[in-house]
């Protein structure tokens, strides 16, 4: 009897331990299974998060073409150009300003240097009826003799020949006399006749701003790539060569432009002159 009682007493702690282990396991299992949020809510949160991530990734997509265009215009490094476009949501114009503020537009930095070397370059159009002489400067004689600089200078000379309206290098060179001349021409155009002077003046002022750009070489679309201006091309070359490049001045020559020709008489007028019946 005593032995049986001792055996039962020995089994009780083990049973309690076993029951305790079962309870502990049950709690652990319950904690593992019990969700913190409902399945439906979890799916919604997951979908929303994925949408936000995808939208952000889409917004940050920057094309290689835009990066190249920005680098050509500013001379900035590839990673700097890409970061600028990302910061400005892909806007090239805003990215240019961003790079300038950060001091990363190397082409603009080089514009402050002195360019006293270079050369005089010429272009004569087929038929020898139109020719151009232009002075293009760089910083060193070594660069002036280089193939790339020579190519840029010849491109600029050809650009001048292909731009009949161009009279000056930059917008800053457009004089008040030029603007007054163009303003007078615009004021006398038929489509403005009969309009009140105040309205006519506003219309003319708007036109003059556009006309001024046609007079400046650096504002023209570059003949070899019309997606960029001549100014952008010069900045791109500055970044590639590593020295400031500047167009100093140019002169155009057109055959017979300074000769005043007599107006040719008609056949009837010649007959009348001979017979004395004018």
181-238 pLDDT, tens digit per residue, is 988 888 888 888 888 888 888 888 888 888 999 999 999 999 999 999 999 999 999 9
Rounded to whole angstroms, how far apart are CA atoms 167 and 249? 10
**Between 219 and 2, where is the model more confident?**
219
Four-point Cα dihedral 261, 259, 187, 160, nearest 10: 130
* Interval 105-144: pLDDT, tens: 555 555 566 677 999 999 999 889 999 999 999 999 999 9
- Phi, psi (deg, nearest 5) at residue 257: -65, -30
Place of tokens 């700097």: 80
Residue 46: per-residue pLDDT: 56
* Interval 175-193: pLDDT, tens: 888 888 988 888 888 888 8
pTM of the full structure: 0.55
Say whether pLDDT at 17 is over 50.
Answer: no
Contacts of residue 94, defined as CB under 8 A and 6 or more positions apart, other chains included, come to 88
* Interval 23-76: pLDDT, tens: 444 444 445 545 555 555 555 445 555 554 444 544 457 888 888 888 777 767
Q: Which domains does the chain have, with CATH numbers?
A: 62-110 (1.10.8.10), 117-174+216-254 (3.30.479.20)
% of the chain at pLDDT higher than 70: 67
């Amino acid at each position: 009897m005593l032995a049986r009682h001792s055996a039962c007493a020995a089994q009780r702690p083990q049973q309690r331990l076993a029951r305790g282990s079962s309870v502990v396991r049950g709690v652990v299992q319950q904690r593992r299974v019990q969700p913190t949020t409902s399945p439906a809510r979890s799916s919604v949160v997951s979908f929303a998060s994925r949408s936000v991530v995808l939208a952000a990734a889409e917004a940050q997509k920057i094309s290689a073409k835009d990066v190249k265009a920005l680098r050509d215009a500013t001379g900035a490094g590839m990673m700097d150009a890409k970061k600028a476009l990302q910061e400005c949501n892909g806007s090239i114009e805003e990215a240019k300003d961003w790079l300038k503020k950060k001091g990363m537009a190397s082409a603009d930095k080089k514009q402050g240097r002195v360019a006293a070397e270079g050369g005089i370059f010429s272009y004569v159009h087929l038929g020898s009826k139109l020719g151009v002489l232009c002075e293009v400067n760089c910083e060193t004689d070594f660069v002036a003799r280089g193939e790339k600089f020579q190519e840029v200078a010849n491109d600029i000379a050809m650009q001048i020949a292909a731009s009949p309206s161009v009279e000056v290098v930059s917008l800053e060179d457009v004089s008040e006399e030029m603007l007054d001349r163009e303003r007078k021409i615009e004021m006398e155009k038929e489509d403005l006749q009969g309009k009140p002077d105040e309205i006519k003046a506003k219309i003319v002022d708007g036109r003059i701003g556009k006309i001024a750009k046609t007079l400046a070489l650096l504002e023209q679309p570059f003949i070899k790539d019309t997606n960029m201006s001549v100014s952008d091309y010069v900045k791109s070359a500055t970044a590639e060569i590593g020295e400031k490049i500047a167009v100093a001045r140019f002169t155009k020559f057109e055959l017979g432009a300074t000769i005043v020709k007599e107006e040719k008489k008609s056949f009837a007028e010649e007959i009348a002159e001979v017979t004395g019946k004018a």
